[in-house]
Amino acid sequence: MKKIFFIYSFLFVGVVFLLYQCRKDKYVIPVCYDTDIQPIFTSKCTMSGCHNSTDKAKDLDLSSYDAAMASNKKDDILKVIQKGEMPPSGYVPLTKEEKQLITRWVEQGYTKGKCSDNNSTCDTSTVTYTNSLKSIFDTYCVGCHNSSNMGGGYALDTYSGCVSCANSGRLLGAVKWQTGYSAMPKNGSKLNDCAIAKIQKWINSGKPN
């Protein structure tokens, strides 16, 4: 009996230790700043009058990794987000997933992260607003272009708003950074080739929902 008790006790301690290690290593998955964090800041933090390279509200510029790291106010980012103070009232709030990503990034020491190259084929065989474009617009556009804050006169948080912008020709011109159009995302990097290809295919296919 003592031998069996010892074995079970050993197993119990082992399980407890593993659970502790899992909890301790909660944020072990590295965050890639360029693909995980900067799109959030660009869409929801660098609007006119906010944390961009021109206005630098609260002495904080979130238009790039180097700019964010140069600010002595970067430790305030997570604090104001957790308090619900940012983005300010009237702007699209951060999603639960976006807050989790920023928290992981801060917990990992504001590192830029190791970003794996995405060599996968860009699938544009079936592109619709719901299954292909909504996530792109939500990530890169709705912080400035939404029903409550129609930057440039367009709301990209609804299907009808995206169709209206596409019909005007401004959507494709802006994301392709064509001459005569304001380059979008504003204060951010150009969308990757796959995202632009999906927007082009969506428009050419009649803008299916």
Q: What is the pLDDT of residue 120?
A: 59
Per-residue pLDDT band at 169 (split at 50, 70, 90): very high
Q: 207: number of CA atoms within 13 Å, CB side?
A: 15
State pLDDT tens for residues 2-53: 555 455 555 554 544 454 444 444 445 688 888 889 888 888 888 888 898 8
Q: What is the pLDDT of residue 197?
A: 93
Percent share of the chain, pLDDT over 70: 84
- Quote the CA–CA distance of 84 and 89 in Å, as a whole number: 9
Neighbours of 125 (CB within 10 A): 6
Rounded to two decimals, what is the model's pTM?
Answer: 0.62
Domain ranges of the chain: 33-107, 129-204
Q: Which of 62, 55, 59 is nearest to 37 (CA)?
A: 62
State pLDDT tens for residues 85-116: 888 887 888 888 889 999 999 998 998 887 76
Place of tokens 């010892």: 6
Q: What is the pLDDT of residue 72?
A: 83
